[in-house]
């Protein structure tokens, strides 16, 4: 049974996916899942992930492919659940040198909305990109 309304359950972790296979892989690790529907229509499955001493409440949504929708859905999930952590989990289909269970972190975040043909590369790195923090890469 779906739950609708302004008071979502407390979730420490949000996991967003693009494809059904990714969504199902994440759900396989959760227990006691239930459906929660955001007022704007996004459907989440909320369940628990068992740790050694307790359980984490985790919300999962399949949001489809595309940077624009991913940005909107990410902001929506953050404001709805107020999580401590948020992950986008996927198969990294655009990368050819990864294997199942590899963790891929970007070294550089790029704003793809900038028309690179109009700007020299040094401008781009000053205004359109941000490097991943040192602590994350360690």
Least confident of 34-38, 50-54, 73-77, 92-96: 92-96
- pLDDT for the residue numbered 44: 92
In a domain, 99, yes or no: no
Distance CA 122, CA 56 (A): 43
The model's confidence at residue 10, banded by pLDDT at 50, 70 and 90, is: confident
Distance CA 131, CA 120 (A): 18
Rounded to two decimals, the pTM is 0.71
Is the pLDDT higher at 82 or at 105? 82
Coil vs helix vs strand at 23: helix
Structural domain boundaries, residue 109? 105-138
Instruction: Report how many domains make up the chain.
Output: 2
Same domain, yes or no, for 10 and 73? yes
Same domain, yes or no, for 126 and 67? no
| CATH code at position 78 | 3.40.50.1580
Same domain, yes or no, for 17 and 78? yes
Same domain, yes or no, for 56 and 119? no
Helix and strand tally (H, E) in the chain?
Answer: 4, 8
In the chain, the percentage of residues whose pLDDT exceeds 70 is 68
Same domain, yes or no, for 109 and 43? no
Same domain, yes or no, for 23 and 52? yes
């Amino acid at each position: 049974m779906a739950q609708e309304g302004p008071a979502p359950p407390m979730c420490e972790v949000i996991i967003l996916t693009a494809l059904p296979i990714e969504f199902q892989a994440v759900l396989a690790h959760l227990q006691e899942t239930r459906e929660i529907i955001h007022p704007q229509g996004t459907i989440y499955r909320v369940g628990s992930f068992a740790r050694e001493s307790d359980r984490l409440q985790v919300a999962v949504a399949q949001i489809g492919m595309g940077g624009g929708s991913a940005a909107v859905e990410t902001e929506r999930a953050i404001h709805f659940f107020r999580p401590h952590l948020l992950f986008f989990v996927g198969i990294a289909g655009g990368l050819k040198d990864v294997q199942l269970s590899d963790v891929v972190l970007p070294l550089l975040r790029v704003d793809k909305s900038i028309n690179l043909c109009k700007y020299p590369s040094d401008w781009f790195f000053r205004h359109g990109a941000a490097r991943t923090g040192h602590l994350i890469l360690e």
